[in-house]
A and B are shown apart, each in its own frame.
Chain A
Amino acid sequence: MSGNTVPSGDTPPARRQEREGPASSLLDLVGNTPLVELKRLAPSPAVRLYAKLEGQNPSGSIKDRIAKAMVETAEARGELEPGRELLEPTSGNTGISLAMVARIKGYGLTCVMPANATPERRRLLKLMGAKIVESRADEGTNGAVQLALRMAEQDRRYFMPFQYANEANVRAHYDGTGAEIADELDRVDVLVAGLGTGGTLMGAGARIHESFPDATVAAAEPLPGDPVIGLRSLEDGYVPPILDVSRLDRKLLVTNAESVAGVRALLEREAIFAGVSSGAVVHVGRKLAEEVGEGVVVCVLADGGWKYLSAPFWAAEDVESAMENSVWW
């Protein structure tokens, strides 16, 4: 990773200012998440392993940072004003975070998702005030993205943040996640985060490299089961515009079984109840901690385990088989 390609401009700072007294809304409580040492999971006393607990953001995930940043950046640029409706193809954490921001700021929110999205997601988003538009189940996630793009084109009332291509996503992690880690630690040798949109790795990675030029920025990437891989043709391939793989130092595949082992280890040894991607991140964090032998390794844990309680893997003997039909993060 070289140079600082974090977008500049009129992005409001994602970090919460020092605040006295009660917060004026949940938006003031986004970010500044706790950093906790994982002494029981570190492979040796010479390595200090830390976890950044993003599940402690107000709506429960790291996506609060980017939802707030994408909306406030658009407001600052005059691209978003009262009366507009936010539109995003999502049935996950980004939708929940956008619903929180939209409700507090008084915008409408429409989430486009495949008709086979789980009822729990639909219910939570509806309770938070989001409208749901279903795309055809047999068109999968592409169908949801394409329908959202068509809706945005046909109706100017809609504003689509589109996290995969929105530079405010990267900026939120540069100003927030990365800066908070750099402020709190005197040394960082390895930063590990899950690879989704690439926002965390690009933004926090750039900020960590500024303070610790020799640090390794590592991506934990899911290795889905064959049924999921089989859904994708090469023509269907997609690299998020905000992701520049050349700026990563490492990019490691993690199997579903390894991710679940990581989730279990976090729970059983550190009493941290985290989501599936966090298990993958900790798996990579421990592996790289062993490689470096001594130093400081920081793992960014994107969300808590609550949304996965009904998942089949907790009790499954064959984790890979139980998880192979779905994408987990």
Chain B
Amino acid sequence: MTTVRIPPTLRPDAEGQREIAAEGSTVREVLDEVGERFPRLRARIFENGNIAAFVNVYVGGEDIRTQDGLETPVADDATLILLPAMAGGTLASLAGGASRPAEPASGTASTR
């Protein structure tokens, strides 16, 4: 069974779950199964059949975009992590830890 970790921003589309157990030998198969159970989640992480631009998917802690994409193999006990794409940098790294949610960027940069 593969564990799929859901980021806070996508949990409302997965009935609030932090983790979902799913089966499959590739990222595509695992996410297909997850998508069948949570269609709203599927709509958010896929875009024209591919992983949406602002979603990052990691298997074994490594981005599938530098592996085989949706065909990246997934071991049975693997963890698949979904994350929103976040630009690095230092804007918030030096801010206090008490910051609250940022507003949507509406087409402009949302950098740290």
Is the A/B pair a real complex? yes
Name the A residues within 8 Å of B87 (CB-CB). 164, 196-197, 238-240
Query: Is A230 a contact of B89 with CB atoms below 8 Å?
Result: no
A237 within 8 A of B: yes
Given A139-B103, A230-B101, A235-B105: A116 and B96 interface contact (C-beta under 8 Å): yes
Query: Which residues from 102 to 145 on chain A have a C-beta closer than 8 Å to any C-beta of chain B?
Result: 113-114, 116-118, 121, 137-145
Closest residue of chain A to B63, judged by CB? A251
* Interchain CA distance A164-B52 in the complex, whole Å: 21
Which of A195, A231, A250 has most chain B Cβ within 10 Å?
A231
* Interchain CA distance A245-B98 in the complex, whole Å: 31
Which of A93, A164, A236, A329 has most chain B Cβ within 10 Å?
A236
B65 within 8 A of A: yes
A222 within 8 A of B: yes
Query: Is A91 a contact of B86 with CB atoms below 8 Å?
Result: no
A194 within 8 A of B: yes
Query: Is A138 a contact of B91 with CB atoms below 8 Å?
Result: no
Given A224-B86, A234-B54: A141 and B62 interface contact (C-beta under 8 Å): no
* Interchain CA distance A298-B110 in the complex, whole Å: 30
The listed residue (B10, B93, B105) touching A142 by CB distance below 8 A is: B105
Query: Which residues from 63 to 91 on chain B have a C-beta closer than 8 Å to any C-beta of chain A?
Result: 63, 65-66, 81, 83-91
For chain A, the bracket of interface size reads 35 or more
Query: Is A234 a contact of B65 with CB atoms below 8 Å?
Result: no
A226 within 8 A of B: yes
The listed residue (A113, A138, A233, A329) touching B9 by CB distance below 8 A is: A233
A246 within 8 A of B: yes
The listed residue (A93, A140, A239) touching B99 by CB distance below 8 A is: A140
Query: Is A329 a contact of B97 with CB atoms below 8 Å?
Result: no
Query: Is A251 a contact of B102 with CB atoms below 8 Å?
Result: no
A221 within 8 A of B: yes
A94 within 8 A of B: yes
Query: Is B108 a contact of A145 with CB atoms below 8 Å?
Result: yes
- Segment at the interface with B among A29-37, A183-191, A320-328: A320-328
Name the B residues within 8 Å of A232 (CB-CB). 7, 9, 84, 86, 102, 110
Closest residue of chain A to B99, judged by CB? A140
Name the A residues within 8 Å of B99 (CB-CB). 114, 116, 137-138, 140-141, 231
Binding site for A on B (CB under 8 A): 7-10, 44, 52-55, 58, 61-63, 65-66, 81, 83-106, 108-112
Q: What are 8 A-B contacts defined by CB distance under 8 Å? A: A91-B91, A93-B90, A143-B102, A229-B86, A236-B84, A238-B85, A239-B54, A252-B61
Known: A92-B90, A142-B103; 8 extra A-B contacts, CB below 8 A, are A91-B91, A94-B90, A114-B95, A116-B98, A142-B111, A145-B110, A237-B55, A329-B90
